[in-house]
Amino acid sequence: MNNLIVETVPGIALGLQDSEQNLMNRRPRSKFESVFAEGLIKKIMLLGTGIGLLSIVTFILGAYTAIALNTPGLRFYYGSSATFIMLSLCGVVKCI
């Protein structure tokens, strides 16, 4: 279900994107250049840490919402549902 939510917006965006001129005339990367060149590893670490911390905070807020609504037995379900929604939205926003 999460893939359906996360992959729809980028798929539409790719379908509507204009093609780049002279794309095939660019020189390929060097075989010695890392896949993680140009700061990609730093971006991955920052994004992963940020989404991880946001997931924890969202789960805690969802659990406290269940407690505030006098349904403490459902705190796991409230927390996991809130985290699922947050991860889906992060996936869509990250791709835009």
Dihedral through CA 91, CA 92, CA 93, CA 94, nearest 10?
50
Q: State the CB neighbour count (10 A cutoff) for residue 77.
A: 13
- Condensed to tens digits (0 to 9), the pLDDT of residues 52-86 reads 999 999 999 999 999 999 998 999 999 999 999 99
Query: Do the beta carbons of residue 88 and residue 2 sit within 8 Å?
Result: yes
Q: How many CA atoms lie within 13 A of 49 on its CB side?
A: 6
Over the stretch 5-22, which tens digit does the pLDDT of each residue have? 677 777 777 788 788 888
Global pTM reads: 0.71
Give every CB contact of residue 29 below 8 A, 6+ residues apart in sequence.
37
